[in-house]
């Protein structure tokens, strides 16, 4: 176990646990592991799960201040000065629609939060910003690091590496890439994309996240849940929105069910208001309650669902890593994902699972291949768990992050600051 030091890391994460989401959960787990060897403060702006009804800019403006230490980590939810709440809320509603509004929002954001964040940064040795929205907060964090003469580490979590332009290819992000002392990419594909967009490879370290799997608890596996766990089922785990492929999977499941009257589909994650109606329509056409929606699932139950699933299928087209695939692999469960550069970094087609095209027939073929071949499924499960143990274990992740911090701490400017 790494010795505890006086070092102080500030993790700045706009939307943070207990909000539901991959970055929210994985950054929380990272904070807990880092806190075993140093002081960790998390600065956040919002703890509510992402919703299409309210942009993060508005949710952050309406958040209340809190300062709670949990699990050895100091969790601070920043709130803007009250005089700026209305302006931020109004501008936040139009943030995604107008460039001038975004520029004005940044100015107001800096005034609203600049001094609010300062007390939690004065004795920091580094600021590590993990992006999941709210670019303005990343810009503010970079300014604070420069003013304090401490390293600024940036995890951009690039979701869109298409050539059609994206937030990650914007002027603001290129400024952040320039100001960061080091960027942490979650995959080799992300690192290559950053290099292709002008970032020096010397400034990039590839460090993924590990799986979040809490021990199973029998109390969470009673009644209807016990029945589902004993059935043969396909598991979807993630936000039930089109970008995650939930609608695509529902259509594929309907087609699969034409020749398979036994397999169930369990969909786990936050859902939009209309999702339940869509699922009921599918069950109606199947004349059976074979699609099950579980929105509020404990971590122990999530582990049980992953371990007992015949296959995890999340045909998502927006992933920075695909943490849910890693969790399924760690659980010994084969995975089906879309054939994307990010997915190829995690899943070898035919070994830990299958990579399919964004097409209903392709997904159905993949599901049938795994479900109809139990021996192949077991082999994939074994390969997946072995890969996670060797590449994605949390102690490896933590050691890599601490290595990044140590490298930056040895810079001459940082050594001079410490001497002073």
- Domain edges within the chain: 8-210+394-419, 218-391
DSSP letter at 365 equals H
Q: What is the pLDDT of residues 223-272, one digit of tens each?
A: 999 999 999 999 999 888 888 899 999 999 999 999 999 999 999 988 77
Cβ atoms of residues 313 and 366 within 8 Å: yes
Query: With bands split at pLDDT 50, 70 and 90, how would you rate the model's confidence at 162?
Result: low
Nearest to 264 by CA among 275, 255, 279, 253: 253
The sheet with strand 264-268 has its strands ordered as 291-294, 264-268, 233-237, 311-313, 335-338, 353-356
Taking the CA of residue 125 as centre, how many other CA atoms within 13 Å lie in the half-sphere pointing to its CB? 20
Residue 187 has pLDDT above 80, yes or no: yes
CA atoms of 266 and 356, how far apart (whole Å): 20
Q: What is the CA radius of gyration of the chain?
A: 22
- Give the pairing of strands 66-70 and 73-77: antiparallel
- Mean pLDDT, the chain, integer: 92
Name 316's Cβ contacts closer than 8 Å, sequence gap at least 6: 238, 243, 244, 245, 322, 337, 338
pLDDT at 106: 94
Residue 150 Rama label (left phi>0; alpha psi -120 to 50; beta) = beta
- Give the pairing of strands 39-44 and 204-206: unpaired
Residue 52 has pLDDT above 70, yes or no: no
Cβ atoms of residues 148 and 124 within 8 Å: yes
User: Could you identify the residue written with the tokens 């490298």?
Assistant: 407
Q: What is the pLDDT of residues 91-147, one digit of tens each?
A: 999 998 888 999 999 999 999 998 999 999 989 999 999 999 999 999 999 999 999
Query: With bands split at pLDDT 50, 70 and 90, how would you rate the model's confidence at 160?
Result: low
pTM of the predicted structure, to 2 decimals: 0.90
Cβ atoms of residues 164 and 142 within 8 Å: no
pLDDT at 416: 45
Neighbouring CB atoms inside 10 A of 82's CB total 8
Q: What are phi and psi of 44, to 5 degrees?
A: -135, 165
pLDDT at 419: 45
Residue 73 has pLDDT above 50, yes or no: yes
CA distances from 200 to 143, 170, 191, 196, 408 (A): 21, 17, 10, 9, 16
| Architecture field, domain 218-391 | 3-Layer(aba) Sandwich (3.40)
CA atoms of 145 and 8, how far apart (whole Å): 13
Nearest to 226 by CA among 310, 301, 311: 301
Name 213's Cβ contacts closer than 8 Å, sequence gap at least 6: 299, 302, 303, 306, 327, 330, 331
Residue 215 has pLDDT above 80, yes or no: yes
Which structure tokens are listed for 260?
């398979």
Residue 161 has pLDDT above 70, yes or no: no
Name 226's Cβ contacts closer than 8 Å, sequence gap at least 6: none
Q: To the nearest whole percent, how much of the chain has pLDDT over 70?
A: 95
- Homologous superfamily of domain range 8-210+394-419: Glycogen Phosphorylase B; (3.40.50.2000)
* Helix axes 135-148 and 99-117, enclosed angle (nearest 10): 40
CA atoms of 70 and 206, how far apart (whole Å): 28
How many residues in the chain? 420
CA atoms of 169 and 11, how far apart (whole Å): 23
Nearest to 124 by CA among 37, 39, 226, 241: 39
Cβ atoms of residues 138 and 174 within 8 Å: no
């Amino acid at each position: 176990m790494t010795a505890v030091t006086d070092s102080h890391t500030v993790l700045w994460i706009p939307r943070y646990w207990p909000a539901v989401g991959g970055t929210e959960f994985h950054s929380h787990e990272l904070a807990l592991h880092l806190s075993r060897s140093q002081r960790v403060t998390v600065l956040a702006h919002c703890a509510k799960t992402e919703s299409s009804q309210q942009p993060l800019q508005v949710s952050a403006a309406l958040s209340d201040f809190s300062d709670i230490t949990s699990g050895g980590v100091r969790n601070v939810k920043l709130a803007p000065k009250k005089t700026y709440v209305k302006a931020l809320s109004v501008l936040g509603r139009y943030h995604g629609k107008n460039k001038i509004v975004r520029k004005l929002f940044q100015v107001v954001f800096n005034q609203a939060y600049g001094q609010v964040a300062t007390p939690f940064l004065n004795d920091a040795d580094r600021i590590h910003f993990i992006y999941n929205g709210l670019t303005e907060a990343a810009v503010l964090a970079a300014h604070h690091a420069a003013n304090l003469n401490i390293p600024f580490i940036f995890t951009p979590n690039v979701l869109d590496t298409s050539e059609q332009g994206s937030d990650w290819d914007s002027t603001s992000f290129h400024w952040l890439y320039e100001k960061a002392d080091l960027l942490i990419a979650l995959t080799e594909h992300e690192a290559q994309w950053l290099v292709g967009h002008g970032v020096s490879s010397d400034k990039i370290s590839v460090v993924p996240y590990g799986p979040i799997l809490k021990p199973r608890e029998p109390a969470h596996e009673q009644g209807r849940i016990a029945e589902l766990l004993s059935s043969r089922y396909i598991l979807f785990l993630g936000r039930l929105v089109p970008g995650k492929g939930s609608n695509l999977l529902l259509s594929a499941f309907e087609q699969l069910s034409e020749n398979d009257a036994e397999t169930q589909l369990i969909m786990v994650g936050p859902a939009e208001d209309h999702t339940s109606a869509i699922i009921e329509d599918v069950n109606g056409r199947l004349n059976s309650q074979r699609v099950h929606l579980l929105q509020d699932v404990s971590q122990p139950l999530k582990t049980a669902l992953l371990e007992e699933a015949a296959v995890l299928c999340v045909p998502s087209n927006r992933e920075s890593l695909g943490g849910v695939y890693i969790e399924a692999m760690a659980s010994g469960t084969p995975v089906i994902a879309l054939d994307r550069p990010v997915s190829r970094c995690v899943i070898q087609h035919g070994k830990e699972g299958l990579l399919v095209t964004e097409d209903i027939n392709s997904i159905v073929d993949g599901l049938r291949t795994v479900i109809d071949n139990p021996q192949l499924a077991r082999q994939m499960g074994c390969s997946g768990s072995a890969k996670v143990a060797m590449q994605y274990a949390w102690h490896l992740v933590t050691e890599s992050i601490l290595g990044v911090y140590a490298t930056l701490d040895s810079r001459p400017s940082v050594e001079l600051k410490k001497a002073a």
